[in-house]
Amino acid sequence: MSPNEAKDQIKTLTAELRQHTYNYYVLAMPTISDYDFDKKLEHLSELEKQFPEFADPESPTQVVGGDITKEFVTVKHRWPMLSLGNTYNEQELIDFDQRIRKALGDNFEYVCELKFDGLSMSLTYENGKLARAVTRGDGTQGDEVTTNVRTIHSIPKKLGEGNYPDLFEIRGEVFMHLKAFERLNKERIDNGEVPYANPRNFASGTMKLQDSAEVARRPLDCFLYGLYTEKTLFKTHWESLEAVKSWGFHVDNHSRLCGNISEVLEFIAKWDTERHNLSYDIDGIVIKVNNYSQQQELGFTAKSPRWAISYKFKAERVETELLAVTYQVGRTGAVTPVANLKPVLLAGTTVKRATLHNADEITERLKLHEHDTVYVEKGGEIIPKIISVNLDKRQPGAKPIAYITHCPACNTPLLRTEGEAAWYCPNDEGCPPQIVGKMQHYIGRKAMNIDGLGDETIETLYRQGFIKHISDLYILHESADELKKLGRFGEKSINNMLDGIEKSKQQPFEKVLFGLGIRYVGETVARKLVAHFKTIDNLMAATAEELTAAEEIGGRIAESITEYFAYENHREEIEKLRVCGLQFIAEEKEVTLASDKFSGQSFIISGVFEKYSRDELKDIIEQNGGKILSSISAKLNYLVAGDNMGPAKLEKANKLNIPIISDDELLAMLS
């Protein structure tokens, strides 16, 4: 290879790996497998050794982890959070063992631990109390996420009696159990949101949320595996694991003390099979030299300890035939393609279907043809995924698979919003799966929670012509006699159903709003909108700018809401529901004034704050007689500004000469 070719390759690989690192650590949405990433990193490292004059000082081969998000306070690690070297085969493990033996002789042990597929976390305890939680970040500094970590039940906030030091760090992995992931991802799909690819991404995305109440709603867990102190308390890593377990920390019980590399390989072989029986994902095994003195003797490279290595399992992959591509229409109109496969055994289960995500997956990435032989993988993914096509087995004359142009349910031409991957059916008033799906969502436990009604009943009532809109549920009592004639419903079940529908009229506004099924308006967003706008009329009249002034309402959500209420049929449906007696006004909480120091003054809160959430600042203002406005105008007295405030708001406030204050200045006004 010529120097110029090496220079170009190093530059290209460096840029590519930086982007993949950002996707993995910051966006929590990786676009490449761990194996492929490691191979590219290995190739870059080899090129840098051959041509050191072209190596970037900030090369991915020298940097740990990812970037720092801007939403949290950045904290420097007392002890760097290094990454581990990876291997995918036994020979490299044997080579690792031989290097250790060459340095230490034969008198040493290994500790083998499951490698959890989650988000690395460092916890600091002071006098037995959790003081700080920080993500890995770039290895030298990370994001402080203490408030979010406090919602994880398995992490002790205060330790009982024990012989722990006054100050120490303990490190571990935050993760999500598979059942929780499946349930929460289904909710995202139902809300028209993009589902997470795997539990690791969901856990990482959750930890980056600004609303700790939403974090608490998503059940996370954490295993701890590394103790760091100023003074060494134990001689071995195994002793420290036993100690922290006795202090009350959640430590995985599957770890094993091994006397030689043969026992390590046995442990790996066992868990390559047994991992499918766990309630959480692991993607490999971590092998560490047990004795701390020997660890110090072996030392570190720039980014990894020489006394530890990570063996990563290869994702299970099988070959099978693509029988057909079918399409599902969700309640929000999103059309999802599904690959129907010749049944094949994969990771202990028979796979008949695989996700294809969107049109680009079919026509651009995979370039699927009819009856292709495909490779299917089920690594960190819960749902099997087609990885690639075996082109050697493509049938002569096979036609490329073209993504459909019309809805498979109602034949309406599909639409695609610029910047989005999915195609949508816009016929939400006439497309059967959308109509049924919306009503099934409306009656659900987290929406209107209507007793006596289930998904099958909704389908039956729709097919028989009793209901076509949500509002039809509230005139169903007029058809009670006709329902009895169907033979499917007994008198008692009909009465239970009608009673449940009547009781649902008492559900609060935020439940009704969530139940309407507006795209991107999930439970949390519905609560935020109701708290900000108070009534359905205010919400329907709100402009996109006024909507984004509400806490955690971004441009995409605002656009979806304005489009929904611009449609006359939706406004008519709201009026029918209002006439039926549903709640479209927020339940006013009685506010006890702490003082009247903000009486007659108006405020807008924008941005992210270190000490308080925006809701907490809003409560402080209202409890002291102040008023919260929805948009910036000449009537505004103060703009309370935090980090990451929108530049448009700042510009408008400056143009109108509105005082811009911090949260500290706001509180000082009360002193």
Residue carrying structure tokens 């007793």? 451
- The response to whether 36 counts as a known ligand-binding position is yes
- The response to whether 13 counts as a known ligand-binding position is no
- The response to whether 16 counts as a known ligand-binding position is no
- The response to whether 173 counts as a known ligand-binding position is yes
What residue type is assigned to position 241 of the chain?
L
- The response to whether 606 counts as a known ligand-binding position is no
Separation in Å, CA 8 to CA 12, 53, 59: 6, 13, 14
Residue 335, CB half-sphere, CA atoms under 13 Å: how many?
Answer: 27
Parallel, antiparallel or unpaired: strands 317-329 and 385-389: unpaired
Question: How far, in whole angstroms, is CA 580 from its chain's centroid?
Answer: 38
- The response to whether 425 counts as a known ligand-binding position is yes
Nearest alpha carbon to residue 109 among 260, 304, 335, 302:
260
Task: Give the integer Cα–Cα distance in Å for 483 and 496.
Answer: 13
Task: Give the integer Cα–Cα distance in Å for 360 and 597.
Answer: 57
Is 505 noted as a catalytic residue in this protein? no
Task: Give the integer Cα–Cα distance in Å for 190 and 420.
Answer: 17
- The response to whether 83 counts as a known ligand-binding position is yes
- The response to whether 37 counts as a known ligand-binding position is yes
Task: Give the integer Cα–Cα distance in Å for 214 and 25.
Answer: 21
- The response to whether 84 counts as a known ligand-binding position is yes
Nearest alpha carbon to residue 82 among 42, 142, 168:
142
Name, in order, each residue with C-beta under 8 angstroms of 71's C-beta and a sequence gap of 6 or more: 143, 208, 210, 608, 643, 644
- The response to whether 38 counts as a known ligand-binding position is yes
Q: How many Cβ atoms from other residues are within 10 Å of residue 528's Cβ?
A: 20
DSSP string, 35-69: HHHHHHHHHHHHHHHH-GGG--TT-TTT--S----
- The response to whether 258 counts as a known ligand-binding position is no
Separation in Å, CA 32 to CA 35, 72, 369: 8, 27, 23
b/e code 405-420 from CB counts within 10 Å (16+ = b)? eebebeebebeeeeee
- The response to whether 136 counts as a known ligand-binding position is yes
DSSP state of 365: I
8 Å CB contact between 310 and 87:
yes
For the chain, give the number of residues.
Answer: 671
Active-site pick, 49, 115, 367, 589: 115
Residue carrying structure tokens 């598979």? 178
Range list of β-strands (E), 347-493 = 349-355, 373-377, 385-389, 423-424
Structure tokens given for 498:
């009608």
* 3-class SS of residue 412: coil
User: Which residue positions form the known binding site?
Assistant: 34-38, 83-84, 113, 136, 173, 288, 312, 407, 410, 425, 431
Which amino acids are annotated as binding site for NAD(+), given as ranges?
A: 34-38, 83-84, 113, 136, 173, 288, 312
Tell me which residues are annotated as active site.
Answer: 115
Which residues are known binding-site members for Zn(2+)? 407, 410, 425, 431
